Structure 1
Amino acid sequence: MARFYHRSQAAQALAPPSRMLDFGKCPPIARSPTTSPLSPARRSRSTAGPGWAAAPSDSRYDEATRFRSERTTMTTTTTKLPAVNAIEAGSEGWGFFLCAGKEVRTGRNGQFMALQLQDATGQIEGKVFQDVEQLREEFDAGEFVKLQGRGNRFNERTELIIEKIRRVDPSRDAEQGFSEETCVPSAPRSTDEMWDALIVLVGSVENEFVRTLLTRMIETHEDALRRWPAAQTVHHAYRGGLLEHVLKVADVATSLAGLYEADRDLVIAGAILHDIGKLQELDYDLATKYSLEGNLVGHITLGVVLVRTEAAGIGGFPDALRAQIEHIIVSHHGSKEFGSPVEPRTVEAFLLAAADNLDAKIHQVRKHIAEDRGDDEFTAYHRRLGRSLYKPASD
């Protein structure tokens, strides 16, 4: 059974620099003790900012420790960055975020660190251009971080240029307002509300075999279903996103089932089970990544195995009924081009694939429009959708 936890740990108490680092113009680290900016005389003056302790003053405070202090200690600035969905070019200050992704890349001017940073309002890319090798060990993906940086506009997207960063110390940083809830994106509907809706949906299924299968599946995987995202990045990529997606797909598909006289029970089964394999495809521990099985097998095959195993434990479960449910799962991407090993060959499979695609697309459209910071009436180009999007004027 999946467990939700964070791996934040207390940061080492370090001394801050005596001035604000000019990001992009930071002087090289001095290697000579005589030129060190942290000579005994200078170390005697503590300028530690909020939530940061002064450095030790003994001889063990060497160059490596000095570097960590300069790059991981906040200054005395009290300016706090706005929420992710409000960060713009020119925004400056410090803030708490979840580091959902971390990657070292090589650009024209050398290595830089690309981060996926999240709070409860959304996600933004962060970039670290200086001292990448040293800072890459200061924190990991899936940890909460405290950073100091500024908003920047690049390639029609808003990003954060990070000047200082370290992992969060929960006990100390709570005094500055840190809490997990403000750093973890979640579905807009409460988990309990969505779970109640799922129970009602399963209870509406008339076929006893299908209802039993669905009941057993959601009871077995309740802990994960309540929390899992629907994807790593594409759509509903936040806590509770999978459950939200399942319910939206069910709403659309059952409406279409009535219009086209399809088997409603099969459509509901497909809506609930089409992405059930993502519970094994994705590892979710604050940050989302692909598991070994996810990379090597994929959620479609994993989902079929889960359903077939559960159905085998239900006495007398009809083979033809099981095959139709499995067909909906394996064909829900709509075509081989998009990853389905077979294409829809039943009315219910066509409806489910259409509903799944529609919900994923609409989510991407609304997210892209909401996150676009430009002043134009059209958004920046969306690579996956293959177009820019119109932004209606708000009243």
Structure 2
Amino acid sequence: MYKRLLDYNDGEELELVVLIKNSQLRHTKKGKLYLAMSFSDSSGEIRGNFWDANDQDAATFNAGTIVELDGKREEYQGQPQIKIYSLRVVGPEEGYDLRQFIKSAPEKIADMKEEINQYVFEILNPTWNRIVRFLLKKWDKRFFEFPAGKSNHHAVRGGLAYHTVSMLRDAKGLADNYSQINRSLLYAGCILHDMGKVLELTGPAATQYTTEGNLIGHLVLIDEQIMLAAQQLKIDLESEDLLLLRHMVLSHHGKFEYGSPKLPALLEAELLHRIDDLDASVYAITNALQHTRPGNFTDNIMSQGGRKFYRPKTDESLGKAHKLE
């Protein structure tokens, strides 16, 4: 039976073709060079260190390269890792495709698309509804294929749509509980808030930031897309409805130091920020816990202020969660 990367148990030796997801040249305390790497295939991701590396190794074994990995799965401080024996670059003539090595969101793209469309029907404001429909159609393929981030959260194929669906479910719960919430505005904000990542990121394989992503960022990029859509749809560019929608996406990071040019000044904008942060945090923590043995702490999770989280020895609820990365 063919075994994938995460199908191996501790102590088992492995030899299989994988994708280098990340590779960074670092120094040990004694000054020796090594590559801190992570490998992935359709089963998920695992880390490993390539010791006694040099500049040529760093140039050869970089992110996005398909390699044959020879090594052994081990455990280090409660975390799985690969002890690397050797790496060999796999050539294009060997017939492998990058898509074979990309972990996908735990829900089917077709199902997420159908669910998002159901929420679109509940956006009753015509300005917001038309813009959301226009941009979903314009960026359909990328929106449902792209990750929501390079590494922090939902960094899988379809992760952007999965993050959006999860936020919409949270938004529905809040809108059902608090009648003062403008459901249409909150739903529109959830769908559009991260859509700029279809321009900020390169795609689901060995994800990197584009030049636009580095220089402008997804908050401003989606604001530009909203304005372009409004122009093409002949929507009044001075209308308050358009202004409110733009405020939703521009303020959704919640703080200046997190990249928002404005702080939330609408109830729905504040809720959008909190839902976004909640869903990203739950995903990041759950993903780290799933890579940690019961009775151990996770590695430091940088998106959570560098904190570690404990996985209880008896942890039935985590087993019910979707397997993430």
Length-normalised TM-score, structure 2: 0.86
- Which residue of 12, 22, 26 maps to 1:101? 22
Aligned to 1:237: 155
- Paired residues of 2:70 and 2:85 also in contact (CA < 8 A): yes
- Paired residues of 2:254 and 2:263 also in contact (CA < 8 A): yes
Q: Structure 1 pair 148/109, CA: closer, same or farther in 2 (3 Å)?
A: farther
Aligned to 2:323: none
Aligned to 1:278: 197
Per the TM alignment, residue 225 of structure 1 is displaced from its structure 2 partner at its CA by 0.7
Q: Structure 1 pair 246/83, CA: closer, same or farther in 2 (3 Å)?
A: same
- 1:164 maps onto 2:86 in alignment: yes
State the distance in 1 between where 2:167 and 2:230 align: 23
- Paired residues of 2:23 and 2:61 also in contact (CA < 8 A): no
Q: SS of the residue aligned with 2:303?
A: coil
Deviation string for 1:187-213 (max 9, x for gaps)?
111111111222222223212221111
Per the TM alignment, residue 316 of structure 1 is displaced from its structure 2 partner at its CA by 3.5
**What does 1:282-361 align with in structure 2 at a 5 Å threshold?**
282-284=201-203, 286-317=205-236, 319-361=239-281
Deviation string for 1:46-103 (max 9, x for gaps)?
xxxxxxxxxxxxxxxxxxxxxxxxxxxxxxxxx98x6444555433221221112222
**What does 1:374-389 align with in structure 2 at a 5 Å threshold?**
375-376=294-295, 378-385=297-304, 386-389=307-310
Per the TM alignment, residue 217 of structure 1 is displaced from its structure 2 partner at its CA by 0.2
- 1:251 maps onto 2:251 in alignment: no
Q: SS of the residue aligned with 1:290?
A: coil
Q: Structure 1 pair 244/333, CA: closer, same or farther in 2 (3 Å)?
A: same
Per the TM alignment, residue 380 of structure 1 is displaced from its structure 2 partner at its CA by 4.5
Per the TM alignment, residue 128 of structure 1 is displaced from its structure 2 partner at its CA by 1.2
Aligned to 2:321: none
Aligned to 1:135: 57
State the distance in 2 between where 1:304 and 1:252 align: 23
Aligned to 1:194: 112
Structure 2 stretches lacking a partner, 5+ long: 317-325
- Paired residues of 1:138 and 1:166 also in contact (CA < 8 A): no
Deviates more, 1:157-166 or 1:375-384: 375-384
- Which residue of 298, 307, 314 maps to 1:393? 314
Q: Structure 1 pair 302/262, CA: closer, same or farther in 2 (3 Å)?
A: same
- Paired residues of 1:365 and 1:389 also in contact (CA < 8 A): no
Aligned to 1:113: 35
- Paired residues of 1:146 and 1:167 also in contact (CA < 8 A): yes
Per the TM alignment, residue 334 of structure 1 is displaced from its structure 2 partner at its CA by 1.8
Per the TM alignment, residue 182 of structure 1 is displaced from its structure 2 partner at its CA by 5.0
- Paired residues of 2:120 and 2:132 also in contact (CA < 8 A): yes
Which structure's residues are more often helix, by fraction? 2
State the distance in 2 between where 1:91 and 1:319 align: 63
Per the TM alignment, residue 341 of structure 1 is displaced from its structure 2 partner at its CA by 1.9
- Paired residues of 1:381 and 1:389 also in contact (CA < 8 A): no
- 1:262 maps onto 2:184 in alignment: no
- Paired residues of 1:250 and 1:268 also in contact (CA < 8 A): yes
Length-normalised TM-score, structure 1: 0.72
Q: Structure 1 pair 316/179, CA: closer, same or farther in 2 (3 Å)?
A: closer
- Paired residues of 2:251 and 2:260 also in contact (CA < 8 A): yes
Supply the RMSD in Å over aligned alpha carbons.
2.4
State the distance in 2 between where 1:252 and 1:285 align: 25
Deviates more, 1:345-354 or 1:204-213: 204-213
Larger Rg belongs to: 1
- Paired residues of 1:379 and 1:391 also in contact (CA < 8 A): no
Report the number of matched residues: 311
- Paired residues of 2:73 and 2:80 also in contact (CA < 8 A): yes
- Paired residues of 2:135 and 2:229 also in contact (CA < 8 A): yes
One-letter code of the match for 1:343?
Answer: L
